[in-house]
Chains A and B, each alone.
Chain A
Amino acid sequence: MQSFSYFNRLLLSVGLLSIAMIAYQLSLMQYLSIVQWYHFAYMVIAIALLGFGAAGTFIALFRSFLLKKIVILLPLLMILTGICMPFAVWLSGQPFARFDTYLLFVEQRQLWQLLLYELLFFVPFFFCALAIGLVFVKYTDTIGKLYFSNLVGSGLGGLAAIVLFWTATPTLIPFITGFVSLIAALFILPNVKRQVWLGATGVAAIVLLGIGVLFPPSLPISQYKGLSTTLDLPEATVEKTANSPYGWVQYVSSPALRYAPGLSLFYTGEVPIVDAVFSNGDWAGAVLKTPEESLILDYTTSAVAWELATHEKVLVLDAGTGIRTQYAEMKGASHIDHVESNELVSGFAVGNIGFESKDAVTWYRQDARSFLAQSSEKYNLISLPSLGAFGGSAGLQALQEEYLLTTEAFSKIYDGLKNDGFLEITVWMDYPYRNSLKITATISEVLAEKGIHYPEQHLIAVRSWSAMTFLVKKTPFSEAEINKIREFCERLYFDPLLLPDITTEERVAYNMIEDHSLFTLIDSLVSGKREQVYANYEFHLRPATDDKPYFSQFLRLKSYPQLQEMFGSQSASFFELGYLIVWVTFIQSFILALLLIIFPLFFLKTKLNNKGWTLGYFSGIGIGFMFVEIVLIQRFILYLGHPVYSVAAVISGMLLLSGLGSWFSSKVQLSLPAIRKVVLLIIGLLLVYAVGLSSILQASIGFSLPLKIMIAILLIGLPSFFMGMPFPLGLRFLSKKNESGVPWAWGINGCLSVVSASFATILAVEIGFSALMLFAAGAYLITMLSCYINKT
């Protein structure tokens, strides 16, 4: 009875620890997105899994000692996990450990600081994994239930993180998860000196929570982030702050903040002083004090859309802080649909503007693609947000899924136009030319797909010294409209970029550029010589699709040496910093993963049998599971309308259903043929998903949210249930034949998961999600084939 009771408490404890760990992992992803950039999400996943891999190695090396002391070690490790969670965050903000993404390719010592940074965050994951790993090794016979508890806890941790994002600050969350870890320890305290353990753990838990609430650490935000540079401005103050799963949002005011993007040199009046909203430390938009101030846009290239007509019905996609909405209203639009999913960004601005109370404006709190899928309205003007950043970005957007900039999205937008309707998008000038060319390619491909034979009659563009605006029209631009565009350019010192029968001289009347290849390339893209440009240009220009929604990923690796030669190695790195960071993470984790697999193999050589089976079997599971997870997250971003919901649904859904599968696995006969059948079933399912998942999602994207959630649970849960089985089955099988191999197998699984987290991202960028799903099926095929080489 006593042991049964202890086992139940153990199940609860493992579940609680898993909740804390996943919630911590997700909060760390947000924390690093704030203080650095979101690419560190990949680093966090890698570190977390590396902690699990390293713990496997550690157990393999010191197994007998650890198992002998398990009664004391388990609660101790949970306590250490709890304390290290906030402590790692605090330490990472101290000057000796602080590192900056921007300086990574500038200062050598930043590489060491990055390593130290990773090491700090590795520690809590290592302790946590050691505790869970010890439980798995000690109670292998009941691995199904324990794994169930671990996975269900992890799934609930994902949901807990969402709740915490709404209710707690980014710096408080690690203290809360640390507190939960300490509570987990309370359930399994040793009987010897129990009162002392109880007192110490209880006090530690209260102190931890107290520090988190009363003295939370500050957020050491990179000096190169928009929020930091803005707070350096005179009298800059943070007026409001709120946290949410969409991001940590701040409302900042300063008399030195002004808004007039790409303003014409013709303008001599006042430039409005604005407030600004930041999300995760990055600029999210300006907030005007009065709607009238939006008329400053009359002196920018984006005004060209209003030069041609007064648009009655306007759709503003990814409307942000609502400036384009206000402008449309000021220009006389009588019906404006303002579509913005980030409640806080629009919400802060709406508080100031109050446009929601106006009859003309309707705010749709949803993702632009979901709106387009559900709406059957037709508009006179559809406005997209500006693309790129002033002066060009450092490529930090490269790995951001941008579903509003895919060919499928443009096709939907085109369908949403009235016959004489316009699509408007402004692009910041960059050099070497990338954004402007890719948007031209995207629009041209969509026009071709719509059966437009003379795209130059449907697409015009005007250019200022810093930006260019593209206008697309369903029917050809009339002579009168073309004349109006020429007058508009002449008046504001702009130059036409795309007009029927345009000359080079006309294109540089006011704003000269040294490299005229912009014109020849744009002309080639519009005139249908796109494949030739895609093949020859040094950057990746092929339009993004829903299968590869990385519009801002321009780097072609084969061109990189040439870029280094032309621009210098440092400048070249800054063209596509984001993509390079993922490569750095991948290479780093690959080396560490190899060390963690090879290392114990070397020491345990005499004790292991069937090394090939263990390696193949558990590698396949590690890679396959992670690949599927990444593909599903990506697919459901578009389907559910926001990355946060997608991550929550996929992580929680996959882990919960895998947990159920794991529980069910104890009923599966423990034999290699039985395992092969389960894995074969998974491979079959993944192949079906690779081919058909996209179509199912596209067909049902317009359904109501509750229905979509049900479909999502079904689609995520089905493969997950079966994918939860091979791991516990394999471990049970291994423990029967060769018990000392269990921790090593666990380590392999963890390490390969580490590598595949960043590798999956690279593959998704290069070959797309459907192909990545095929790779996942291939990984499970390795698992299945490895069963044939098992000699037992």
Chain B
Amino acid sequence: MKTSLYLLGFILAFSTPVTAQDNFQRERQQMVNQQLVARGIKDKATLDAMRTVERHKLVPQAQVRHAYEDRPLPIGHGQTISQPYIVAYMTEIINPRPGMKVLEIGTGSGYQAAVLAEIVDEVYTIEIVNALAESAKNSLREMGYTNIHVKAADGYYGWEEHAPFDAIVVTAASEFIPPPLIAQLKEGGKMIIPVGAPFTNQNLMLVEKEKDGKWKTQNLFPVRFVPFTRN
């Protein structure tokens, strides 16, 4: 009897995490199908990355059970982790490919960096809030990412040593686009910025550096939020 109990305990102890992992994997798969594919995310590399990155490991403990829900989540310091769809949309729009070098301004939880790191060669990410930078750095290291470089610094200056970048993802938008960032983007490169109050992310701004040195911006409304048509 005693031996049976031990055996049962052993089986439970080792099977529970596996079951939890299965659950998260299932949730992730559902997230991709229901929140991303259904809303028009098509890029295979982006979808594969979203299927792979363990979002639940990058949210605060209290938010783990909501990790794959269709909404942004609070991560402290007045910051949020964007909803999965926005992360996928921002990833897809810069058309990431192997061999690329991407700069991210505003590491936050580290989730966007992780998704990019699944596709491109190197991700350089800068976070101005020290505590968030440290937490993201630790989580990403524990998750085994070696191609993500986290720096706690003012994103205004970009990361000149590693410039120019094929794309820049600004996850913490400000009232202006810092001139150094503009300078550190390759010609033909793209910069994407979400614009909106916390928990809203109503639209995205795409900035393109054209070959003639001119700039164009485009206000994008993610597919989920169909253009606000009216009578």
Contacts and interface: CB of A to CB of B under 8 A. Distances in A.
A513 B230 contact: no
Contacts of A465: 205, 207, 217, 219
A431 B199 contact: no
Contacts of A515: 219, 221, 227-228
A511 to B, nearest CB: 5
Which of A258, A391, A574 has most B Cβ within 10 Å?
A391
Contacts of B227: 514-515, 517
Given A267-B179, A391-B197, A571-B200, A234 B128 contact: yes
Contacts of B226: 566
B199 A493 contact: no
B183 A514 contact: no
Contact of A568 (B70, B198, B221): B70
Interface in A464-496: 465-466, 493
Contact of A512 (B73, B77, B216, B224): B216
B203 interface: yes
B173 A391 contact: yes
Interface residues of B, number: 48
A229 B78 contact: yes
Interface in B164-183: 173-179, 182-183
Binding site secondary structure of chain A? loop
Interface size class of A (residues with CB under 8 A): 35 or more
A263 B176 contact: yes
B64 interface: no
B189 interface: no
B154 A234 contact: yes
A506 interface: no
A613 to B, nearest CB: 50
Nearest to A390: B175
A429 B193 CA distance: 14
A566 B175 contact: no
A228 B131 CA distance: 14
A511 B208 CA distance: 10
B201 to A, nearest CB: 8
Interface in A511-543: 511-515, 517, 536-538
B221 A466 contact: no
Contact of B199 (A510, A536, A570): A570
A271 interface: yes
Contacts of A107: 74
A511 B196 CA distance: 18
Contact of B228 (A222, A262, A432, A571): A432
Contact of A262 (B176, B219, B230): B176
Interface in B118-175: 128-130, 154, 156, 173-175
Nearest to A109: B62
A397 to B, nearest CB: 11
A513 B219 contact: yes
Contacts of B201: 571
A148 B130 CA distance: 58
A431 B175 contact: no
Contact of A511 (B74, B182, B199, B217): B217
Given A263-B176, A432-B228, A258 B207 contact: no
B79 to A, nearest CB: 8
Interface string A257-273: 01011110111111100
Contacts of A466: 175-176, 195, 205
A225 B197 CA distance: 11
A372 B154 CA distance: 43
Interface string A385-396: 000011111100
Given A268-B183, A392-B197, A537 B230 contact: yes
Interface in B17-57: none
Contacts of B199: 102, 105-106, 394, 570-571, 574
A224 B78 contact: yes
B144 to A, nearest CB: 29
A512 B230 contact: no
A555 to B, nearest CB: 14
Contacts of A391: 173, 195-197, 200, 202
A106 B228 CA distance: 24
B198 A102 contact: yes
Binding site secondary structure of chain B? loop
A567 B225 contact: yes
B216 A271 contact: no
Contacts of B74: 102-103, 106-107
A265 B182 CA distance: 8
A536 B230 CA distance: 8
A689 B183 CA distance: 63
B202 A568 contact: no
Nearest to A395: B197
Nearest to A263: B176
A223 interface: yes
A233 interface: yes
Nearest to A267: B179
Which of A265, A517, A568 has most B Cβ within 10 Å?
A265
B179 A271 contact: yes
Nearest to A511: B217
B216 A510 contact: yes
A87 B219 CA distance: 50
A258 B156 contact: yes
Interface in A545-603: 566-568, 570-571, 574-575
Given A223-B78, A431-B203, A265 B228 contact: no
B215 A232 contact: no
Given A106-B71, A260-B176, A465-B207, A389 B218 contact: no
B76 interface: yes
A608 interface: no
A696 interface: no
Contacts of B221: 431, 514-515
Contacts of A433: 228
Interface in A248-285: 255-256, 258, 260-263, 265-271
B77 A517 contact: no
Contacts of B220: 514
B4 interface: no
A256 B153 CA distance: 9
Interface string A216-256: 00000011110011001110000000000000000000011
A267 B181 CA distance: 12
Given A512-B218, A537-B230, A571-B199, A256 B156 contact: yes
A431 B216 contact: no
B219 A536 contact: no
A433 B196 CA distance: 13
Contacts of B200: 391-392, 394, 571, 574-575
A635 B205 CA distance: 42
A514 B197 CA distance: 20
B16 interface: no
B228 A566 contact: yes
A622 to B, nearest CB: 37
A323 to B, nearest CB: 13
A234 B177 CA distance: 19
B23 to A, nearest CB: 21
B196 A232 contact: no
A270 to B, nearest CB: 8
Contacts of A570: 71, 199
B229 interface: yes
A510 B215 contact: yes
A552 to B, nearest CB: 13
A228 B219 CA distance: 29
A115 to B, nearest CB: 19
Contacts of B230: 517, 536-538
Given A391-B200, A513-B218, 13 more contacts: A106-B71, A106-B73, A224-B78, A265-B182, A390-B174, A393-B197, A394-B199, A431-B196, A465-B217, A515-B219, A567-B202, A568-B224, A570-B199
9 contacts: A102-B74, A224-B198, A268-B179, A269-B179, A390-B175, A432-B228, A466-B176, A511-B218, A568-B71
CB-CB nearest 4 A-B residue pairs? A263-B176, A465-B217, A223-B78, A391-B195
